Structure 1
Amino acid sequence: MGKVAWPEIELTDVSMRYATDSSEVVALRQVSLDIAKGEFVSLLGPSGCGKTTLLRLMADLLEPTGGSVKVAGKTAGEARLARKYGIVFQNPVLYDWRKVDDNIMLPLELSGVGRKERKRKAGELLELVGLKDFGDKYPWQLSGGMQQRVAIARALAMEPEILLMDEPFSALDEFTRERLNEELLSIWSKVGNTVVFVTHSISEAVFLSDRVFVLSPHPGRLSAVVDVPLPRPRTKELRGGETFFRLVSDIRGRFEGV
C-alpha cells in the first residue's frame, strides 16, 4: 500500500533532535508516512529506534524539530485539544484508590459528564473489554492483563477516533500477551477506530496489523512498509500458518546486519 488517499495521520519529513551537554542526539530523521482512517498499523523496531518518540509526536506530547504532523486534518496540538485520540501506555497508570469503574470514568468526569451517564458508559466499556463483573474492584486486585484492559477501556471513554498504544503488552507473559492481542482485535472490530501500535515484537506486529512500519535504529528512519494480507478476523490458529511465518521471516530479514 502506498500513499493513502485520505490519511487520518500524516507525517512529512519528521525529524527529532535532542540537545545534550556535549552533543546533539538525532532520534528520528525525515520520517514520512500516512495512516488511513480505520487502519490498524504497528511501529516496529529494536529498542532505541524512535518508536515511542514517533508516537509521542503524533500525540502532541513532543514537538518535532523538523517536518510536520497532521492528525485528522489538524495539527497534532489541535487534534489533542479536539480529543481526537486516546493513549494507552506501557504501564496501565491506574489510580489504586479509585475503583475500576471510577478509573474508567475519570476522563468523562474531567469533561463534565454527569454521574449517571458516566456510570452507563463505564458499564458499556467494561463489557466491551470483558470485565463487566469487575467494576467495583480496585486495580491492585486485578492481574496485569486485566489492568491493561481497564486502561484500554479508559482510553476509549471519550470515543476517540484514534487509539495510540505504546507497547501495552510488553510486560506480560507470552500466553497472556497473545490472548490480549486477540481481545484487542475483537475490541477494534467493534469500535472501528484508527490504531497505532508500538511494539518490538515482529509476530505481534504481523498478527495485529494491516501494515507494519519498520524503523531502523540510530537514528530512527522508516526503512520499510510491509502490507499484511492476512484475513480478518484473526485467530490464534493463524499464527501457525505458512503466510504468517513468511511475513515474520521477511520482516526479521530486514533487521539483519542493522
Structure 2
Amino acid sequence: MGIAVNTVPEIQFEGVEMKYSTANAEVLALQQISMDIAQGEFVSLLGPSGCGKTTLLRLMADLIQPTAGEVKVAGKSAREARQAQKYGIVFQSPVLYEWRKVKSNITLPLELMGVKKNLREEKAARLLELVGLKGFEDKYPWQLSGGMQQRVAIARALAMEPEILLMDEPFSALDEFTRERLNEELLAIWSEVKNTVVFVTHSIPESIFLSDRVFVLSPHPGRLSAVVDIPLPRPRTPEMRGSAEFFELIARIRGSFEGV
C-alpha cells in the first residue's frame, strides 16, 4: 500500500488545454487534462517525448498559463501558490553555479530571501546529511559526479521546505545503475520530508518504482490516457524490480497508451 494521503487535492487540473502559436499555425500541446493529486502523494507523469509532460509541470509551477481550463493548488491559483513559495523545482540538468561551493549552492534560495547566516548554515547541514553529501560541503560542482550534482539540486530545492516538489526528468542523463540508486535515495528523502512530489519521466520502470500513482499521457497532443495505481508496498526495495507484480504493472501501463 502507498502512504496515507489527505483527501483534499493538493493540485487540481480542470479541463486544461495548452496551445502554442507558431509561424504557420497554432499547435495543441495538451487537450482536456483533468486530474487531482493528493497532498503527500508521489505521482509520476509518464509518456513519450513531446506528449506535454514538462508543459504540465510548468503549468503547475505557474511558469506558463493554460489557454483553457484551470489549475489550482490547495484551492488557490497556481500563481498564488508560486507567490507563497509552495514549490521546489528540480530540472533535468542540476543548474548549479560552478563558482559556488556545494553548501553555498544549497543556501542560495535562503540568501535571496534574507535568511540569517547561522540559520542558513544549520539548514545546509541538515540537508547535506539528508541527501548523503555530508563532507562535500566545500567541494565545487565540477568536483562531483552527475548523480551527486543532482543530489545538490534536490537539497537546494528542499531548502525553502516546499509543500510541493516538481521534478522534470532529473535522472534521465545518468547511467542506469546511478539512476536506480538515486531512485532509492529519492524515496528515502521523500519518506523524511513527506511533501507532494510530481515526477516527470519517460521510463515505465522508474515511474512504477517511485510512485503511488502514474498518470499516463498519450502522444501529441497530450491527453490523459490512464491513471494507474501502484499497489507495491512501501518502503520500496530493489528486489521489487524483479517481481512478477512489477512486470505485470509494466505490461498494464504499456497497454494503457492510446493506440496500443
State how far apart, in whole Å, the 1-side matches of 2:188 and 2:253 are. Answer: 25
State how far apart, in whole Å, the 2-side matches of 1:30 and 1:98 are. Answer: 43
Task: Work out whether 1:65 is the aligned partner of 2:54.
Answer: no
The amino acid that maps onto 1:17 is: K
Structure-2-length-normalised TM-score = 0.97
State how far apart, in whole Å, the 2-side matches of 1:75 and 1:257 are. Answer: 34
TM superposition shift of 1:252: 1.1
**Which residue does 1:41 correspond to in 2?**
43
State how far apart, in whole Å, the 2-side matches of 1:16 and 1:255 are. Answer: 20
- Three-state SS of the structure 1 residue aligned to 2:236 is coil
State how far apart, in whole Å, the 2-side matches of 1:169 and 1:78 are. Answer: 29
Is 68-77 or 226-235 further displaced after alignment?
68-77
- Aligned-residue Cα RMSD (Å) equals 1.2
**Which residue does 2:114 correspond to in 1?**
112
TM superposition shift of 1:74: 1.3
The amino acid that maps onto 2:257 is: F
* Aligned pair partner of 1:193 in 186, 192, 195: 195
**Which residue does 2:13 correspond to in 1?**
11
* Aligned pair partner of 1:214 in 204, 207, 216: 216
- Three-state SS of the structure 2 residue aligned to 1:122 is helix
8 A Cα contact 2:216 2:257, kept in partner: no
Structure-1-length-normalised TM-score = 0.97
The amino acid that maps onto 2:233 is: P
Alignment coverage as a number of residue pairs: 256
State how far apart, in whole Å, the 1-side matches of 2:258 and 2:63 are. Answer: 32
Post-superposition Cα deviations, 1:172-197, rounded to whole Å, max 9, x if no partner, equal 00000000000000000000000000
TM superposition shift of 1:256: 6.9
State how far apart, in whole Å, the 2-side matches of 1:179 and 1:42 are. Answer: 18
State how far apart, in whole Å, the 2-side matches of 1:235 and 1:148 are. Answer: 21
**Which residue does 1:159 correspond to in 2?**
161
Cα 1:256–1:34 change in 2 (3 A) is closer
State how far apart, in whole Å, the 1-side matches of 2:255 and 2:181 are. Answer: 26
8 A Cα contact 2:218 2:258, kept in partner: no
* Aligned pair partner of 1:242 in 234, 241, 244: 244
Percent of aligned positions with the same letter in both sequences?
Answer: 77
Task: Work out whether 1:20 is the aligned partner of 2:12.
Answer: no
* Aligned pair partner of 1:146 in 145, 148, 158: 148
TM superposition shift of 1:257: 3.5
State how far apart, in whole Å, the 1-side matches of 2:165 and 2:51 are. Answer: 21
TM superposition shift of 1:249: 1.1
Runs of at least 5 residues in structure 2 that lack an aligned partner in the other structure = none
State how far apart, in whole Å, the 2-side matches of 1:217 and 1:62 are. Answer: 21
State how far apart, in whole Å, the 1-side matches of 2:22 and 2:71 are. Answer: 24
State how far apart, in whole Å, the 1-side matches of 2:220 and 2:11 are. Answer: 24
State how far apart, in whole Å, the 1-side matches of 2:144 and 2:173 are. Answer: 15
The amino acid that maps onto 2:158 is: L
Once the two structures are superposed, the pairs formed by residues 98-137 of structure 1 within 5 Å of their partners are 98-137=100-139
- Three-state SS of the structure 2 residue aligned to 1:67 is strand
8 A Cα contact 2:217 2:257, kept in partner: no
- Three-state SS of the structure 2 residue aligned to 1:53 is helix
- Three-state SS of the structure 2 residue aligned to 1:29 is strand
Once the two structures are superposed, the pairs formed by residues 167-178 of structure 1 within 5 Å of their partners are 167-178=169-180
State how far apart, in whole Å, the 1-side matches of 2:164 and 2:75 are. Answer: 13
8 A Cα contact 2:7 2:39, kept in partner: no
Runs of at least 5 residues in structure 1 that lack an aligned partner in the other structure = none
Cα 1:64–1:256 change in 2 (3 A) is closer
8 A Cα contact 2:29 2:51, kept in partner: yes
The amino acid that maps onto 1:85 is: Y
**Which residue does 1:29 correspond to in 2?**
31
State how far apart, in whole Å, the 2-side matches of 1:255 and 1:219 are. Answer: 13
State how far apart, in whole Å, the 2-side matches of 1:13 and 1:149 are. Answer: 35
